[in-house]
Amino acid sequence: MVQRAEFVMVDNEQQSAKIKPVHKHVFPKWSVYLLRLAVMACVFVSYVWAAYPSYAAGAEAVGSQKESNKEKVVYLSFDDGPGKHTREVLDILHEEQVQATFFVLGEQAERYPELIQAAVEEGHALGNHTYNHHYDELYRDFKTFWKQVKQTEEIVNRIAGFRPNLVRAPGGTYGHFDQSYFDLLELGGYTVMDWNVDSGDSKRKGVPAKEILRNATKVPAGTSSVIVLMHDGGAHAETVKALPEVIQYYRDHGYRFDTMKAEDQPVQFRVHPEGKYKSRKAPGTEWIEDHVKANSNLWLTGKELKIEIGLAAATLKQGEFRVEDQRIMVPLRPFMKKFGGSTRWDVESRTATAVWKDRVIQADSVSGELKTTSTSLLHDSTIQGGVQSQGGTIWVPLRELLEMMGLNLSSLHANDSEWVVKANMPLAAALSIYLHRTI
C-alpha cells in the first residue's frame, strides 16, 4: 500500500535552524546573459526540429484534433447523362464496388431508359439535372426551371418507379440562381447540390485524363466531405480513362464512398452579388401555393412517420420512408425488424421474404409483385406493381404491406412534427392466429 507524503507546517524559526550554510559562487554579470541566450537558442532549435519534418515531407499543416477525427467521405457525381459513356462508367464502378450519384437529363433518360434502370439496380442514386440543359430557358424565370424539373421527375418515375428530389442546376447555381430559386426549391421538397471539387472535364473539348485526375483530386484544405463533379454524358471518354485512378486516389487516402441523399447537408454555391438575372420576376403567391407548396407533400417534408400497430409503435425518420403518388413507401427489412418480423433475400429470384406472426410476405423486385400466404388464409393475396428496388433496398407501399400483415389501417393524421398511422388486427384474424397456435 502506497502511503501519502505528509505535509507539515514549519514556522520561520524552525526552518531557519534546519537550513545549512551554502557556499555561493558569484559569476560575472555578462556570463549570466550569455547563459540565458544559450538556453533560448536551444529552445528555439528544439521547436524548429519538432515542427519541420511534416513540412519537409510535403504534408499539409495539421488541423485541429476535431477536424482530423472526422470521417472522410467522397461522393462521386456524374452530370448530363445517361449517354454513350454511361455503361463504361457503370462497369468501372461495379468492378471497384463503388456507388455514385447520377444527375440525369430528362431528354437523355428518354433516349436511354435501360441505363437509368441499370444505374438504380446497381445501387446508384439518381438526381434531377432538368430536361434539356439550356441555360437561356432554365434561367429566364423560375417557372421554366420548375417545369423542367417536374418533366424530368416524371420521366425518371416512369422508368425507375420513384421521384428523385435531389436537384443539380446545369452549370451550377453560381451566377444562375438568385435566392428565390433556392428558397422555392426547398419549399417544394427538393435539395439542391452543387460540388466542392471540379474535375474540369467539361471546361473545354477533349480535356486529357491526366488533367481530369489532377483536378478531381484537388481537395480543399480541411474538407472531410467531398463532392466530385464529373460527366458521363456527351464526349467524355477521357473521364472514363481517369475514373479508376480517381477512385484509387480517394481509396488510398482513407475516404469512404457514398451516394448523395436529399436529407444530407447541401453543398451550395453562394448567390452571385452581380448576377445578370437580378431583374427576373419571382412567381406569384397563388402559383407558389398551387405548384410549390402542394409538391412538398410528395416527400412529407420535414416530418417523421409514426406507425402504431396495436400497442407496438415505431418512428421512421426522413430517409427511412418516402411518399410517391400519394403512397407512403417503406423499406421492407427495417420495417419488419421494428415490429418483430424477419426478412431474408434470395439472390437468384431477386425476392425478399418477410415473416410476421403467421404471415409470409414475398416482395418480388423483378415483377413488382407483393404477395402473402398464411395458415389462416384460404387463398394467397397478391398486389401487382407495388414493389421497388433501389440501392439494394426493397421498398413497398405501407398500406398494402399492412394488409398483407393481416392488419386494418384505422387512421392517418398529422401534426406539426409527424404523421401518425394507426393499424389494428381484426378480431377474426387474431382469433385465427390464437387457435392455430393452441391446436
Catalytic center residues: 79, 231
Measured CA to CA, the distance from residue 102 to residue 153 in angstroms comes to: 13
- List all residues 6 or more positions away from 119 whose beta carbon is below 8 Å from its beta carbon: 82, 86, 90, 102, 126
Burial 178-208 (b: 16+ CB within 10 A, else e): beebbebbeebbbbbbbbebbbbbbeeeebe
Measured CA to CA, the distance from residue 116 to residue 97 in angstroms comes to: 18
The sign of the CA dihedral 108, 124, 184, 173 is negative
Measured CA to CA, the distance from residue 272 to residue 274 in angstroms comes to: 6
- Return the SS3 of 229: strand
Q: Which is nearest to 376 in space by CA: 338, 405, 398?
A: 405
Provide the 10 A C-beta neighbour count for residue 314: 15
Provide the 10 A C-beta neighbour count for residue 89: 26
Eight-state DSSP code of residue 410: E
- Return the SS3 of 28: coil
What is the grid cell recorded at 105?
A: 437529363
* Residue 264 CA from chain centroid, whole number: 5
Measured CA to CA, the distance from residue 102 to residue 232 in angstroms comes to: 9
- As a whole number of Å, the CA-based R_g of the chain is 32
Instruction: Please report which residue ranges of 6-141 form alpha helices under DSSP H.
Output: 12-18, 29-56, 65-68, 86-96, 106-111, 113-121, 135-138
Residue type, 391: G
Residue type, 105: L
